[in-house]
Amino acid sequence: MTLLTGHRVAALSIAAHRPLLRYLQSLGAELVDPPRSIGDLNGVSFLVDGVGLQHLADAGWAYDHIASAHPSLIHVSVSAFGSYGPHAGLHGSELVASAMSGTLRLTGEPDRPPVKEALDACTFHAEMVAAAGAMAAHFERLRSGRGQHVDVSIQEVAFNRNVSSILVWQFDQRKLSRVGGALNYGRATVRCIWPLADGWCFHTLMTGRFGAPANQGLSDWMDAAGVDNPLQGVDWLSYNRSTLDPETRRRWEVAIEAFFRTRTKHEIATEGRRRGINACVVAEPGDVLADPHLQARSFWQPRGVLSVPGRFATLTDGAPAPRRVIPGGKRPGPLSGVRVLDFAWALVGSITTKTLGDLGAEVIKVESRTRPCLSRLDVQVSASTAKSFDDKPWFAHLNSSKRSLALDMKRPEAMEILGPLIEWADVVVENFSPGTMAKLGLDYASLVKRNPSLVMVSGSVYGQTGPLAREWGVDGTGGALSGRTYLTGWPDRDPIVPGAVPYGDVIVPFVMAATVAAALTRRNETGSGVHIDASMYEICVQQMFDAIVATQNDGPPRRQGNDDPRVFKQGVWPTVGDERWIAITLVDRAQWSTLCALAGGEDIAAWTSTRNDYELMAELQNAGIAAGVVQDIEDVFSRDQGMSARGALVELEHPLLGAFGHVRTPIDFSRSDIAPFRAPGLGEHSAEVAAGIAGISSERITELNDLGVFK
């Protein structure tokens, strides 16, 4: 089944296997030869470039001319700094965009320079954001008949991942730092990469109901192995990773490391999985190719003698249904009028529905005080307390543009409200463990009996099917299993993770949102709904596309620090000041000669260490070299005029936290306006939704409230 059959895509200035193009092709779009002139765009639905409008205009491809000749064309730009603002004309690269975003500074070990993530991590993220923008514009085009320009800045998208860093700076004026193989949550640093007897594993102790069974499983395994176990007797339901005494954590981690060093990769993948602990092997790309789970899900696509990642999401076609055209709504945005019923929690689902809501959809978030979202519990800043569900800036950042319905779904009376909402919705979003929605009677097969044309999207670590579908996992699981973690770091050290910036958790939502918009467009044309199965593991493997191909052609790749085989030379060098660095990418020997001439020799570090970072960046940019300051969060807030011009943070008033900057959905449209609004308090709109959408009388709302249904 395809969603873009009959649509043609052309690319300017980028390789044919770029992720956005692969995504569009996976939905059935046809990739045509690169156009040599604007006239070659006849019959093309989507035009993609990798340099931005300013650089395209310099090359004779002015957007005004393109749009005038092809008014229905959707033109998507994904570039280092975006198409407008004071940074638009700068020379960029993956490394430089990461440096300027604040992400690079948080990746690596404290005793070495910051180190880039495996392959083009920030660019892949930006391309998936662009996919969501392109498909939203595609949906809007069906109404208006008009195309538009969709602009995405890799720097801004990478900054968008820095929510922990952003909020601890905004509220407490603290800065996070590189922590190697650990996760930095703001108030706590929790180790997550552990040496095994024959490799490494990813494991982290999680907070609350979500983490308690897995944490206990590890403690039980340590007891069974007869090793020292300071985790004995811990009440894991009350454990809070943000408030645990640091000395206690140190003792725990010493014991956990000693235990893991006695285990093998096979034991983690078998006994560890059987015991339900939150651990998985840090896989190499060769392991990924041989994984039975991916094979069972028919993930691989043949390309000659090679196997390459196939789909970005699994699509199951709905039954034929009457055509259901979505009228425009009251809110602005390309998705105005779309109705979304949101069963999401944590990051994946919440960012999916934030994206849909920010782009104009009406989103009703269904949540419960009996099982609140982790982002309503995690106390990371001084403005938050353990006593309130509504004072967490993490939740506020992730849940703009939504209304909240508090509902105890275990009570049968809840269906009095849910039933009409299911019929009202165009889209249902969920990211519970596979099988959970079926237990509630809310799986796709059940929902389409009430709403045959429904589009439903399910996000999970492993996908809805396959031998691992019901296994436990978090953001780091996708990175570890896909080979991404194994290839991040220095060749002579253990693998590391970008300790304060999630990856799979923030990539998957844009794939989900993009595919929802594409499915709604197809439904407007045919009436048929669809179930979308998005797997974090598979999407992370998509990011590893080049490493998967290289493994089959050249043998197993290894960690390379900041090197990249596709460029002549690049690195991160020190500048004047404590923890001040500059990232430089040199595309060929001529640029290396230019740099050496400026430095007076080949000892680049000796030269850069005497220079101011911003002044040096300006000098190198003027010489035509991609260079950027490795900015920290204060730099981005106070010095980065490009990010300010793009409106990377939107100030929204919060009833408990006051006014503060929220990360926006980082997409710009040339015609569609975007107007996000603040996140809701838990159950803030319960009565409003019950009366206004479900049609419940005020008397019955009072009765349901007394029964504890709105809990």
Per-residue DSSP letter, 328: P
Domains and CATH numbers, the chain: 8-161 (3.40.50.10540), 164-285 (3.30.1540), 329-434+679-711 (3.40.50.10540)
Task: Say yes or no to pLDDT of 202 above 90.
Answer: yes
- Pair 278, 203: CB distance under 8 Å: yes
pLDDT tens figures, 638-686:
999 999 999 999 999 999 999 999 999 999 999 999 999 999 999 999 9
- Pair 483, 285: CB distance under 8 Å: yes
466 vs 186, residue with greater confidence: 466
- Pair 311, 318: CB distance under 8 Å: no
pLDDT tens figures, 333-342:
999 999 999 9
Looking from the CA of 607 toward its CB, the CA atoms found within 13 Å total 12
CA-based max dimension of the chain: 82
Question: Average pLDDT in the 373-386 region?
Answer: 88
CB atoms within 10 A of CB 298: 12
As a three-state string, the secondary structure of 248-277 is HHHHHHHHHHHHHCCCCHHHHHHHHHHHCC
Q: Model pTM?
A: 0.96
Residue 228 DSSP SS3: coil
pLDDT tens figures, 114-168:
999 999 999 999 999 999 999 999 999 999 999 999 999 999 999 999 998 999 9
Task: Say yes or no to pLDDT of 696 above 70.
Answer: yes
pLDDT of residue 14: 63
pLDDT band at 475 (very low <50, low <70, confident <90, very high): confident
Task: Say yes or no to pLDDT of 400 above 70.
Answer: yes
- Pair 323, 341: CB distance under 8 Å: no
If you average pLDDT over every residue of the chain, what do you get? 94
Question: Average pLDDT in the 606-614 region?
Answer: 97
pLDDT tens figures, 65-83:
999 999 999 999 999 999 9
Which among 42, 664, 687, 71 is positioned nearest to 400, based on CA atoms? 664
Question: Average pLDDT in the 381-410 region?
Answer: 94
pLDDT of residue 76: 97
pLDDT tens figures, 418-433:
999 999 999 999 999 8
280/639 Cα distance (integer angstroms): 40
Rg of the Cα atoms in the chain: 25
Task: Say yes or no to pLDDT of 631 above 90.
Answer: yes
- Pair 81, 51: CB distance under 8 Å: no
pLDDT band at 1 (very low <50, low <70, confident <90, very high): low
Residue 662 DSSP SS3: strand
pLDDT tens figures, 44-60:
999 999 999 999 999 88
Question: Average pLDDT in the 210-221 region?
Answer: 92
Task: Say yes or no to pLDDT of 240 above 90.
Answer: no
- Pair 385, 397: CB distance under 8 Å: no
**For the chain, what percent of residues have pLDDT higher than 70?**
99
Total count of residues recorded for the chain: 711
Tokens of 68: 């005038």
Question: Average pLDDT in the 378-389 region?
Answer: 90
pLDDT tens figures, 558-602:
999 999 988 999 999 999 999 999 999 999 999 999 999 999 999
Element (H, E) at 152: strand 149-153
Question: Average pLDDT in the 166-175 region?
Answer: 94
- Write out the DSSP string of 577-638: STT-EEEEEE-SHHHHHHHHHHHTSS-HHHHHTTS-HHHHHHHHHHTT-EEEE---HHHHHH
Lowest average pLDDT, out of 93-102, 175-184, 356-365, goes to 175-184
pLDDT band at 243 (very low <50, low <70, confident <90, very high): confident
pLDDT tens figures, 482-535:
999 999 999 999 999 987 788 999 999 999 999 999 999 999 888 899 999 999
pLDDT of residue 216: 95
Which among 21, 298, 53, 30 is positioned nearest to 151, based on CA atoms? 53
CB atoms within 10 A of CB 284: 18
pLDDT of residue 501: 83
pLDDT band at 15 (very low <50, low <70, confident <90, very high): low
589/570 Cα distance (integer angstroms): 12
